[in-house]
Structure 1
Amino acid sequence: MTADPDQNSRGSLRWFPAAAALVTLVALAMRGIYLIGADTPIQIAGDINDYVNYARNLGEYGVYSSSAPSAAAPTPDGFRPPGYPLFLLLPMKLAGFGPAWLPGAQALQVLFSSATVLLTMILGREWLKPGFAVAAGALLAVWPHHVVFASTLLSETMLGFSVVLALWLTAVAWRRQSPWLALAAGLAFGYASLVNTLVVLFPVALVALGLLRRHPKIPLTLAAGLVAVMAAWSTVSPAQVEGSRSNAHRAQMNFVQGSWPLYHAAWRARRQHESAQKVIEAIDEEIILVTQSPREGLAAIHSRVAHAPLRYASWYLLEKPFLLWDWDIRLGSGGFHFLPPRASPYDNQPVFRATATMLRLGNPLLFALAGLAALACSRGWLPKSSIPFAPVMVATFVVYVTLVHTILQAEPRYSIPYRPEQLLLAMGGLSLLSSATVRLIAWTSRRWKGNE
């Protein structure tokens, strides 16, 4: 995978900004229409309760706690990281903690989600031709999960924005060898890590990549920015919390749940079928065992896996990697919704319905194209590789999050923040195929003429 030869050409500079602006406006319109047109009677439920409680308790009591509002002082906990509650705290404070904060937060998320589309195209231009970069942005602009979650008070939108921003700043810092941009990238990665702690280890991979390519200055400066953000939060964060409301317990819970192929189906059917409820109870018992005695818990998991090794090999090697990038949200209302709407533009607007149908059908192909590009970028880890840094970094990130969620828990909702990078890789794979097709046609033409 090589850099775009006309990246700085006058022609691409002439039309790419206009195309990128148009796609961004489409993204803004889609998200705005959904925000206004969707009838979702329940706006705060499930995981959203935790985020809202964290933000409200932090703003009103100065305590980072997911406890429900009450007369008593809340008890601090660290079950979820603080990045998204800190975002929610802004509209809450602006609204004086009144009910107007909720539409304010949704409007802000619509803007950040649309900005993510623009950043995706700009990041793509670090190596893709303008047409492929715009195509990736256009796909993201109309991607139903992104449209819906821009109005959903969950962390996916802010995580997606901060990750794309961090990757773009890193790519430009590498190209320009700018420590200041690398520091800014580290700060962006730091915020992303506060939104989702699974991101925090990725800069380690960037440092390793920089050392392999013999350019350690940029990734090391980036790591310094990341450490600065994490250290700043640690000075004001609650004391280390143990037990069922710690972040470590959440990781253990996800690990156990993700090791059960039946978990999602059982969770969805737990109120209708006694057998499904029994599966959930068995999973909960295993979570308790892993939490209280990790050695005994891991032994129990090993024993379960050993009874059906081929089933679990298929689960971890084939099913879970694709499940992360699949379509239907398992832990929610289904489809591309977390909260169940009574009606939405996807029910009554032809453009919304058509884009959802086409993208659902094309999702497996995009997965395959992204895999092709990631495979092509694998040589980029070698010293003195001719493959540009930006696509190698993006491919490494997609592989990294896929591996992490395969180990822990994989479900399509968790891929929403990482869809920009996957779509860029997919367009990179399409670019590879188109170039190979052109070369094959040219070779066939030469052979045909030589035989005349």
Structure 2
Amino acid sequence: MQDFSGVVKKFLGSKWYIPRYGYVLMAILLVAFDLRIQAVVNTVVDTPVRADAREYVLYAHNLQNYGVYSRTNTFVTGEQAIPVPDAKRTPLFPLFIALFLDKPPTMDNISTITRVQAVISTITVLLVFLIACQFLPTPFALMASALTAISPHLVTMNIYLLSETLFTFLVVLTMLLITKSAKNSGHTIRILAGLALGAAGLTHPMLLYFIVPLLIFLLYSWGWNPGWKKVGVIFVGFIILYGAWIGRNITTLGVPGDNTLMLAALRTGIYVDMMYQNDPRSYGYPYRFDPRFEDTSRDISSVTTEIGDRFMESPVEQLRWYLIGKPFTLWSWSNIEGPGDVFVYPVASTPYRYLPQFKATHLFMHAAHWVLVILMVGGIIVAWISPRLSGFSENTVFVARAVSILLLYHLSIMIIGFPLPRYAIPMRPFLHIMAMVPLALVAKRLLEMRFVPLGKS
């Protein structure tokens, strides 16, 4: 065994130089994969194909077997039924799971999908490090990736047939390509950034409108000349993918898209503290208790009228909910619409109940949660301080501001809509990255105080 290790070390040494932090990063990735693969292997989800997951499976099944993108329940109607095309959900996650489905879908298919998600989620940890190391000292970049590796929310999402794992990967990939494009003179990385953003938007619609603040920020950072060309390339990449989806909808349905989920989010967002008339039984599901919900959610006019009426009736309460209550709810620890804690659908068994590494990482991340959120807020503020005051380099400021733009956009969308904590899970890698910014700034100041003389000799 020792001879084998020596041969491997000699071979690697002759071919590649691995910096010291590389071994730490490899250890972080091993921990990330171990947690994820053990979670998907040892967790038993109670009825995994339910609610949103069921719709995703129906889309994939109908596309695979009928060539129609539809959530029609052909498991019930039978093979003779013709699925009715729709566009309620964006298509990339159903396309992803369709790669692994048999006819009909089996539990082995679900097992395969969750294992693939564990791999994708582990790669996301690596991408987090590649973003963070562009503008943070290496120890802090490693810390951000380590927090992402052990995050119970990011670990647990892999056990479900839900879009968050794939979406998180694509958002992180998008931001990596965007931040790399600042120093890269070629257009290839920018077209890839646009394609990645389009893919992310086709996985979850919350990122659809991010193209607007992103391009404005890039023009502001790069200047009009030659910034407009760089921005144009990113936009072309984005519209290649998202434009294809819009074209499909116009051709098949006669409309660019389906705003059902958007209307539901806007309408549901007016329930103060996520309850109907302060009834604790309605917490997380207030629309189920409201007899007027359907009538006031038909179209954008009825939704905006209802929102306006609520603000007229209780302006202070609504403002408090929108400006204070929603951000706190969004970034709270427990998933509201499920059994609580880090789970979306109930689980009959989970390693978080009995394996020591799972219990320890859960305990640590739960204790550190609000500290990290506060540090993230501090990081966003620091990102917009003048480089002359912060002492950060131009590239550091660009990357920090790009990530902060994403977090601020996401918060704005959630304040307008329904702030389920589950919707913050794809932003947790960026929570960990931005939480390191104020820590890095403090470390920088301490080092300056340590090595710069305090007075004249």
* TM-score band, normalised by shorter chain: 0.7 to 0.9
1:160 maps to: 168
Return 130-139 or 73-82, whichever deviates more. Answer: 73-82
Instruction: Give the match's secondary structure for 1:42.
Output: coil
Letter in structure 2 aligned against 1:223: F
1:14 shift after superposition: 1.2
1:233 maps to: 245
Letter in structure 2 aligned against 1:222: I
Structure 1 residue 100 corresponds to structure 2 residue 108: yes
2:412 maps to: 403
**Following the alignment from structure 2 to structure 1, what is the Cα–Cα distance between the partners of residues 434 and 179?**
15
**Following the alignment from structure 1 to structure 2, what is the Cα–Cα distance between the partners of residues 145 and 290?**
31
Letter in structure 2 aligned against 1:248: N
1:291 shift after superposition: 1.9
Letter in structure 1 aligned against 2:62: N
Instruction: Give the match's secondary structure for 2:454.
Output: helix
CA offset digits 1:255-282 (Å, max 9, x no partner): 1111112436889965xxxx77995356
1:56 shift after superposition: 0.5
User: CA separation of 1:381/1:189 partners in 2, compared to 1, >3 Å: closer, same or farther?
Assistant: farther
Instruction: Give the match's secondary structure for 1:100.
Output: helix
User: CA separation of 1:265/1:36 partners in 2, compared to 1, >3 Å: closer, same or farther?
Assistant: farther
Check conservation: 2:197, 2:238, Cα contact below 8 A: yes
Structure 1 residue 151 corresponds to structure 2 residue 151: no
Stretches of structure 1 lacking an aligned partner (at least 5 in a row): 1-11
Letter in structure 2 aligned against 1:288: D
1:50 alignment partner, one of 55, 67, 76: 55
The percent identity for this pair of structures is 26
1:424 alignment partner, one of 429, 433, 441: 433
Letter in structure 1 aligned against 2:252: A
Alignment of 1:18-417 (within 5 A): 18-69=23-74, 70-71=77-78, 72-92=81-101, 97-213=105-221, 214=223, 215-237=227-249, 239-240=252-253, 247-263=258-274, 270=281, 280-281=287-288, 283=290, 285-292=292-299, 294-379=300-385, 386=394, 388-417=397-426
1:342 shift after superposition: 1.6
TM norm structure 2: 0.86
State the superposition RMSD in angstroms: 2.8
Stretches of structure 2 lacking an aligned partner (at least 5 in a row): 1-16
User: CA separation of 1:325/1:262 partners in 2, compared to 1, >3 Å: closer, same or farther?
Assistant: closer
**Following the alignment from structure 2 to structure 1, what is the Cα–Cα distance between the partners of residues 195 and 292?**
39
Check conservation: 1:183, 1:225, Cα contact below 8 A: yes
**Following the alignment from structure 2 to structure 1, what is the Cα–Cα distance between the partners of residues 33 and 85?**
37
Letter in structure 2 aligned against 1:392: R
**Following the alignment from structure 2 to structure 1, what is the Cα–Cα distance between the partners of residues 252 and 57?**
21
Instruction: Give the match's secondary structure for 1:342.
Output: strand
How many residues get paired?
A: 426
Check conservation: 1:77, 1:241, Cα contact below 8 A: no
CA offset digits 1:285-318 (Å, max 9, x no partner): 24532424x4454233222223322222221111
1:241 shift after superposition: 7.2
Instruction: Give the match's secondary structure for 1:44.
Output: coil
**Following the alignment from structure 1 to structure 2, what is the Cα–Cα distance between the partners of residues 410 and 174?**
32
Check conservation: 1:21, 1:118, Cα contact below 8 A: no
Return 275-284 or 77-86, whichever deviates more. Answer: 275-284
1:349 shift after superposition: 1.4
**Following the alignment from structure 1 to structure 2, what is the Cα–Cα distance between the partners of residues 74 and 298?**
33
**Following the alignment from structure 1 to structure 2, what is the Cα–Cα distance between the partners of residues 362 and 440?**
28
Letter in structure 2 aligned against 1:218: K
**Following the alignment from structure 1 to structure 2, what is the Cα–Cα distance between the partners of residues 201 and 347?**
39
Return 351-360 or 220-229, whichever deviates more. Answer: 351-360
**Following the alignment from structure 1 to structure 2, what is the Cα–Cα distance between the partners of residues 201 and 302?**
23
**Following the alignment from structure 2 to structure 1, what is the Cα–Cα distance between the partners of residues 98 and 387?**
41
1:334 shift after superposition: 1.0
Check conservation: 2:129, 2:145, Cα contact below 8 A: yes
**Following the alignment from structure 1 to structure 2, what is the Cα–Cα distance between the partners of residues 396 and 131?**
24
Check conservation: 1:65, 1:78, Cα contact below 8 A: yes
Check conservation: 2:56, 2:93, Cα contact below 8 A: yes
Instruction: Give the match's secondary structure for 1:195.
Output: coil
Instruction: Give the match's secondary structure for 1:388.
Output: helix
**Following the alignment from structure 1 to structure 2, what is the Cα–Cα distance between the partners of residues 89 and 394?**
32
Letter in structure 1 aligned against 2:421: P
User: CA separation of 1:223/1:295 partners in 2, compared to 1, >3 Å: closer, same or farther?
Assistant: same
TM norm structure 1: 0.86
**Following the alignment from structure 1 to structure 2, what is the Cα–Cα distance between the partners of residues 265 and 282?**
7
**Following the alignment from structure 2 to structure 1, what is the Cα–Cα distance between the partners of residues 145 and 420?**
23
Check conservation: 1:179, 1:217, Cα contact below 8 A: no
Check conservation: 2:273, 2:321, Cα contact below 8 A: no
**Following the alignment from structure 1 to structure 2, what is the Cα–Cα distance between the partners of residues 195 and 381?**
36
User: CA separation of 1:248/1:53 partners in 2, compared to 1, >3 Å: closer, same or farther?
Assistant: same
1:74 shift after superposition: 1.3
**Following the alignment from structure 2 to structure 1, what is the Cα–Cα distance between the partners of residues 36 and 356?**
15
Instruction: Give the match's secondary structure for 1:363.
Output: helix
